[in-house]
Structure formats: C-alpha cells, structure tokens
Structure 1
C-alpha cells in the first residue's frame, strides 16, 4: 500500500506522541527543560546592570579572561572565591601579595600564550580566539575599539559576557572605597553562584577592620604618604603619589590621613620635589608593583627627605595588592594601623 508524504508524516508524528520513543526533537526539548530547571535551581539566570549594560548569565562561566589594566583585583577576587580553575587567560600580576600563596597562585595561572599589545593587554583578535564566556576588565578602557580591544557588543556576539569592575565605568578610581571591593566580591559571587563564599569573605573582612578601627579610635591621625615605588605617571618627580581613592578609606580605617589629599582632585597627584619636601610626612606606605625591593625605595625617600618625621622615626610599611581594590583590604588596614599606632596592638 502506497502512502503519500503528508499521511506518512502524520502517522510518524502520531507514533512519536504515543510511544515517546522517536525523534531527537522530543529529546532535545526534554534536555532543554532539564537544563533550564537545573539552571533555575542553581540560581540562574543572573542579570547584572554593569556600566549601563545588562549582562545576563544563564550558567556559571567556565572560560574567563582577566585583562591586565595594571590591577590584580579581579584575579585575586576569583582566587579568593576558589574560581581559579575557570580562568583560561590571566594578564594581571603585581609579582607579590600580602596573602600567603596568592602571588604564586597567580603566577601558575594560564596566560593564553598570546602576544599582548602595547598596553600589555589582550588585543581583539587574540581575545576572540580564546573563546571566552566572560571577560573581566578594570575599566571600560579594556573594551574600547579605538584601543584595539574587543568591544562588549563584539563579545556578546560570540556568546561572551563582560564585566567592568566598580568605579571603572567612568575610569575614575578617585571615588573608590573598600565597599567597592565588597561589591566586586558580591557580583562575582552572584555570577558564579558562590554568593555564600563571597558573603563569608566580606563578613570576615568587615569584622577584622572593625576590630582594628576600634583599637585606634580617638588616636591622633598621622599624615601618611602612599605611593607606588619606582613608578612614573606624570611629568613631575613624584607622579605616583595617591591623593584620593581606596587608599584614603584604608588610611581612615587604620587611624591615619593622606598627607597629599588636598594636592589634587584625581586619584594621583603629580608633585614636584619641592612640594613633597614642604609637606610633613609622618609615615609612608610604599606599594610594590613588580618591584622586588620596595623597602629600598622607602629608604631612598628617607635619605632624600630627612626632615620628615617619617624619616626620623623610620616609619614605613611596604604593601601591594591589599592596599588597592580586591578581597584583602582588611590586611592593609591592620598593617597600616600597626605602623601608625604600635602601642594599640
């Protein structure tokens, strides 16, 4: 008996409905339903409003690229949350850390074996070749087409989400506080469905900072100079001196104040040697960025400005990642407080 195509198709469809044993379409639908149910159970989808962009995550990212941006905030946050295995390429490193084992852990991460551009970061074609599902950038600079980077739209077209860290939307870290470090932790906790870990880290940090601040409460606030060692950012002799930003929040919580807060409205002050010499500096925080001996830089400063109270009393501390955006600001608060108010500990 012959059967025309429409009749055959109808019969096949009827048999499939009765037996649920044929056709990949029903399997796919069942699989999709199972996947969607599992995702919903795991807390997905997750949507973040990031610099005016809606970023929706249907599952936890598994191929993360961490752009450089002269930061370690993003990679340190992922490591603190136990997510190092999700990173396929990391370009961030300070070469040191106040957290035991972190610098070594960062060094072991894959870099993607790519040729970086003149900004020591990941160019567009190399980025797309890494097949990321999440790209982290310190600021919107890392997604600017004119800088040779993949834009957020281009990344979205290949199925990759993107994220700009707190205060990076306008590339203005002068407004940054410790709360921004907690926001970065919370956002990554949501994205990777590890919010419980993020909240534990935040709670521990808040507790540690509160304990330190309580010990130095009511003490006189020494004037502190915070700067990167052996780094030039402007035209003057001292262009890597912090005037604003998260360091000021850390200093305040540690019972100190920034000696150069009024010298600029931006994050960094570009200062002459004469201006620095005319300022009373009670203590110095030297931040090491791939500098093997930041203590030597502090000694050099004290030789250059022997009139400082800091030089007379040899009052300084060397720090790196804990003094900037990231998961370990409580370490910096404690270290600075112990330098400024040793009798309180």
Structure 2
C-alpha cells in the first residue's frame, strides 16, 4: 500500500537519524533541526558538568551502582524518583528512615554480592565486574585510586558514567545546604528523564519547609546539639558532633541554632567531655546511623549532663536520613520544629 507523503517523510527522517547517511542543506540546518526535534522528544542527550568533568548521557542508565560513602542520599533520591529497579548494587543504608517503608525498600535492593574493601566500599575489580553504566558516590573519595577504588577515567574506559553528589568534589561537606539536596534530585531527574517528578518533589519540600519557617519566625532560637549516636570519628569523647553543613540549614528553618557551630571549621567537631559539659544545650538531635536504638543514646546523654536545659526538659528528637543530604529534609525540619516550638506549630 503506498504511503502518503507525510508518512514517507517521517520514515525518511527516522532512517536518516539511524544511519546518518542522508544529505543535508548546504548550511546543515536541516539535519540540526531533525536532531533537535528527536532530542526534545527523548530528553537526550543530557550533559552534566560534575566536579569539572563532563558526563553526557545518551539514554537513561540501567545498571547503577550506589557506593557507600556513609550516606543514603543517593539511594534515597533514586527511590524517591521511582528508579529502584535501575540499581544493580547498593551499598548504602542507615538502617531506619523517617519515610515509611524506605528502610525496608533499601534493604530489599540488590547488593551485587559485594565484599567491601578496607575503605568500606566497592573495590576496583568488583566494580568493573558489576558492569555498571552509572556509579554514584557521595564524595570524590569513592573514585580515589589510592583507596582501592575505580577512578572516573577507569570507569569511562569500560563505558560507565560516574557522578559525585553536590559539595562532594573536594570531600568537604561543611558548605552543604538544602539547595544541594534539590540539586541532586534535579541532576538525577535529568539523567533518567524524570525531571517532572524531581521538580514535583522539590516543590513539595520547599512548600512544607516554608510553612514551618513561617510559623516559627520571630521565636527565640534554642541552642541544639546535633550528633551521630554511638559513633567515633576522632580522638575525643565526642567526635561525631556536627559543626557545619546542611544540618545547620535544617536547624535554621526549624527555628533553632547549632550550639557547636563555631567549634570547628569542618563538618564535625572533635570535642572533649569538658567542652560539651560547659556548653548550654537546649535540645538534642540524635542521628541514628545503623543504630537500632538512638533514643537510648539520647537519654544516656541527658543523664550524663543534667545541667543542660535539654536534660531538665527532656528535649530531644531522633532522626536518620532526613537530617542529611537527600529528598526528605522537610521531615527533619518539621520534627525539629515540633520539638523546639510545639506551641507555634
């Protein structure tokens, strides 16, 4: 059956794209227009400038490896975007979550049979054997050859893209803010052609946080101690106390302030018991990283420092993934605000 002229023209355009054998006008505009039209329909190619390296995606990745990085930012972002089926090996978990069902969903993801190296992540040879087309790392540490990891160039050589999350390029997360959680969502939305979903999540989060911030505006800002439960990062008794980073941005939106913000130039302060005892703490935020009972740790601290206003009023909240980079910071803002300003909400 003969084709009508529009149908024949459309088929010719498709064949031209597939074979790259068609001629073009003298200035190439006809071919460019056809390519642009095809790209607008598929959403590809997509190019990200990531830590000074350009990553161009011609299609959505289908074999994603999520490195550990003591984070759940990347795996939670993929799950929030409905992309869990793209993950072939996930090394991230906090053990619990403020989002109902998320911890269980993470637990069910494949781990790729990975035996972590001494740096607690995916060794180079194992990574290459997983045949990824995208590898996600919280910081550039995950692509450092001296730590036994595959470099970004080595991954590129086997056809894999790589991505370092916002503020992770120099492994210094002290400047991380809520905007970085949104950037991670946007970047993954572009990479997987689900930008509409990413923008929907961002808009909902911004709306919830703005509503809370408006209610606590003008209230006195209690001094809050934020720390990870039962975790040691330095030589002192309190080495997992938060000083700077996204945590402070969350506290500010919830109507609080970090009691130890000036204790360190980096993300964490390594503090003595005497320093902690000498600081007025109005409230505690205890982050449970694979700790089954962070509340017990919080209660232990309140007993250890009875002079704190937080101890006298039993003021604390336990959180997990919502207090870190990721798609659920609005939940942390809400829960902290409810603790600090119960009459305002």
1:137 Cα deviation (Å)?
0.4
The 5-angstrom pairing of residues 41-190 of structure 1 reads: 41-190=41-190
Q: Normalised by the size of structure 1, how large is the TM-score? A: 0.90
Separation in structure 2 between the aligned mates of residue 28 and residue 125 of structure 1, nearest angstrom? 40
Partner of 1:174, secondary structure, is coil
Separation in structure 1 between the aligned mates of residue 167 and residue 272 of structure 2, nearest angstrom? 28
1:41 Cα deviation (Å)?
1.9
1:309 Cα deviation (Å)?
0.2
Higher mean C-alpha displacement, 317-326 vs 39-48: 39-48
Separation in structure 2 between the aligned mates of residue 67 and residue 39 of structure 1, nearest angstrom? 30
Unaligned runs of 5+ residues in structure 1 are: 1-26
Partner of 2:225, secondary structure, is strand
Could you say which structure has the larger radius of gyration? 1
1:249 corresponds to:
249
Separation in structure 2 between the aligned mates of residue 318 and residue 80 of structure 1, nearest angstrom? 22
Separation in structure 2 between the aligned mates of residue 191 and residue 304 of structure 1, nearest angstrom? 48
Contact 1:39 1:58 in 2 (8 A): no
Query: What is the Cα-based RMSD across aligned positions, in Å?
Result: 1.5
Partner of 2:239, secondary structure, is strand
1:344 Cα deviation (Å)?
0.9
Contact 1:98 1:331 in 2 (8 A): yes
1:30 Cα deviation (Å)?
6.4
Contact 1:88 1:111 in 2 (8 A): yes
Shift >6 Å, 4+ stretches? 27-30
Deviations, residues 196-219 of structure 1 (Å, cap 9, x unaligned): 000000000000000000010000
1:264 corresponds to:
264
Partner of 1:136, secondary structure, is strand
1:66 Cα deviation (Å)?
0.2
Contact 1:39 1:59 in 2 (8 A): no
1:243 Cα deviation (Å)?
0.4
1:42 Cα deviation (Å)?
1.1
Q: Normalised by the size of structure 2, how large is the TM-score? A: 0.90
Deviations, residues 42-61 of structure 1 (Å, cap 9, x unaligned): 11100000000000001000
1:32 Cα deviation (Å)?
5.1
1:336 corresponds to:
336
2:284 corresponds to:
284
Separation in structure 2 between the aligned mates of residue 292 and residue 304 of structure 1, nearest angstrom? 21
Aligned length: 318
Separation in structure 2 between the aligned mates of residue 159 and residue 86 of structure 1, nearest angstrom? 16
